[in-house]
Amino acid sequence: MKNKVVIVGGGMVGAAAAVSLAKKGAEVVLIEHSPINATKVLEDNNIDIRVSAINRFSERLLDNLGAMPLLRATRVAPYHRLSAFESGRNILSFDKSEVNATHLGHIIENRLIQASLWSQFPGLPITVKTFSTPARNIQQDTEKVVIVYDEEEIVADLIIATDGGRSQVRKLAGIGVTGWQYQQHCMGILIKLEAPQQTETWQQFKATGPVALLPMHAPYANLIWYDRGDTLKRASQLTKPLLKQAIFEHFPSLPGDFDVIESAVFPLTRQHANDYVQGRVVLVGDAAHTINPLAGQGVNLGFKDVAALTEALDFEDVGHLSNLNAYQKRRRFDNALMMSTMDACYFGFSNEIRPLRLFRELALRLANSAGPIKAQVLKHAMGE
Ligand SMILES: Cc1cc2nc3c(=O)[nH]c(=O)nc-3n(C[C@H](O)[C@H](O)[C@H](O)COP(=O)(O)OP(=O)(O)OC[C@H]3O[C@@H](n4cnc5c(N)ncnc54)[C@H](O)[C@@H]3O)c2cc1C
């Protein structure tokens, strides 16, 4: 049996990969430099400013992995409606009733998603390891792959890199990336609302970049502000009352009064690995692709990678190259397509050049008109 898998990176995607592969019989070693106490995270009341819009595909995966029931018992916010505005005018709306669903997706704190997956580890063949220094080297031949740390050398049949956008494993495997840094940055602002649970997530397009509201489990919500890096740097240095004032000036009116809890600024990167597979090393999640978060797709794509890899592998011989190549073939084009769609939105909505404006109005009108095109766009947004 050749089923030993080393997974480097135990974030949302790495933890999902560990549970998914261990459930299929793989012997998993998960290496994470910041391990968590899952029970504590699921029970505490520390609200994470990093949240993800989890689509229906990801929800099903999390259900299959046993994580979703735990999440439903903590702080999740199902959303029923998704809207886009421009200059205060509604240009696009999707409602759960249009697809006969109870919800379109959930907004969930990242650390809760990670913890709900980590809490599945006991009882599965998963060993968690932490090393004080990064891996020094990866060596491989046709039979095995070895990851070398100062403290230990681990021999495996397959290494999965889920160590995020700056993947060290990707570098050690010699896989290059293509990409760039967007001009816009993004500020997440955690607020506490006076209003009851919100079920609509909306985005307002502006020439400087969109602003959005992601309703979290009441009374919290996340405001997203895309703008130039220097503008957001200045905003991040404001006191909470002054940031609240800036929100009044820059965002559409919010449902009732609110308090600013915390904010953080993220650079926006587009990055795609030139290959997902190098012998017995395979890239999954942000290690393979980092996408503009405009439509909240990053971790959803990562979860699709996990499902595709699990399906592609032969658990008698997990490092079989043709299966790894089948995974790459299935996912690389899909991820590239989503990245290009986000780029079209980013460039199309962040300027006022007249032909572009006309084109985007036409595209949105088409997407918004009732009928098969709208249903198709909605299904895609839900990850179906
Ligand atoms: C502002 C913003 C908003 C977003 N909103 C959404 C959204 O609404 N919906 C959505 O789907 N996506 C969203 N995303 C994208 C999403 O956050 C990422 O796609 C997701 O976090 C990627 O998960 P990952 O597990 O692949 O990588 P990461 O989250 O980067 O996790 C990597 C893990 O590996 C560990 N690690 C790193 N290096 C090493 C090493 N050398 N050794 C051991 N461990 C290591 C880290 O500690 C971490 O636990 C957003 C991103 C941003 C920036």
Least Cα distance to 198 among 29, 316, 83 occurs for 83
DSSP secondary structure of 332-375: HHHHHHHHHHHHHHHHHHS---HHHHHHHHHHHHHHHSTTHHHH
Nearest CA, atom 52, ligand 1: 293
Query: How many helices and strands (H and E) does the chain possess?
Result: 12, 20
Nearest CA, atom 38, ligand 1: 163
User: Can you give the pTM of this predicted structure?
Assistant: 0.94
Torsion of CA 139, 142, 143, 144, to 10 degrees: 20
How close is the Cα of 10 to the center of ligand 1, in Å? 10
Least Cα distance to 306 among 280, 290, 284, 330 occurs for 284
Strand, helix or coil for residue 278? strand
- In a domain, residue 312? The reply is yes
- In a domain, residue 332? The reply is yes
- In a domain, residue 238? The reply is no
pLDDT in single tens digits along all 384 residues of the chain? 889 999 999 999 999 999 999 999 999 999 999 999 999 999 999 999 999 999 999 999 999 999 999 999 999 999 999 888 887 788 788 899 888 889 999 999 999 999 999 999 999 999 999 999 999 999 999 999 999 999 999 999 999 999 999 999 999 999 999 998 888 899 999 999 999 999 999 989 888 888 999 999 999 999 999 999 999 999 999 999 999 999 999 999 999 999 999 999 999 999 999 999 999 999 999 999 999 887 778 999 999 999 999 999 999 999 999 999 999 999 999 999 888 887 777 666 665 555 556 556 666 665 666 565 566 666 666 767
- In a domain, residue 149? The reply is yes
Tokens linked to 309: 């890899």
How close is the Cα of 11 to the center of ligand 1, in Å? 6
Number of domains in the chain: 1
Report the pLDDT value the prediction gives residue 181, as an integer from 0 to 100: 87
- In a domain, residue 160? The reply is yes
- In a domain, residue 159? The reply is yes
Nearest CA, atom 29, ligand 1: 11
- In a domain, residue 242? The reply is no
Atom of ligand 1 nearest to the CA of 9: 34
Q: What is the mean pLDDT of the chain?
A: 91
Cis check for the bond before 267: say yes or no (omega within 30 of 0): no
Alpha-carbon distance of 250 to 235, in angstroms, equals 11
136 exposed, middle or buried (CB, 10 Å; 0-12, 13-18, 19+)? exposed
Mutate to test the pocket of ligand 1, among 8, 19, 52 (most ligand atoms within 8 A of CB): 52
Strands 27-31 and 4-8: parallel
pLDDT in tens, 200-251: 999 898 888 889 999 999 999 999 999 999 999 999 999 999 999 999 999 9
Strands 277-278 and 145-148: unpaired
Alpha-carbon distance of 63 to 77, in angstroms, equals 16
- In a domain, residue 307? The reply is yes
Mutate to test the pocket of ligand 1, among 50, 51, 76, 163 (most ligand atoms within 8 A of CB): 163
What domain range is 40 assigned to?
4-76+106-179+270-347
Strand, helix or coil for residue 191? strand
CATH number reported for the structural domain that contains residue 303 in this entry: 3.50.50.60
Partners of 28 in the β-ladder: 5, 126
Atom of ligand 1 nearest to the CA of 12: 25
Alpha-carbon distance of 61 to 117, in angstroms, equals 11
- Where does ligand 1 bind, in terms of residues with CB under 6 Å? 8-14, 31-34, 52-53, 134, 162-164, 168, 186, 188, 266, 285-286, 293, 296-300, 302
Contacts of 376 (CB under 8 A, 6+ apart): none
How close is the Cα of 60 to the center of ligand 1, in Å? 20
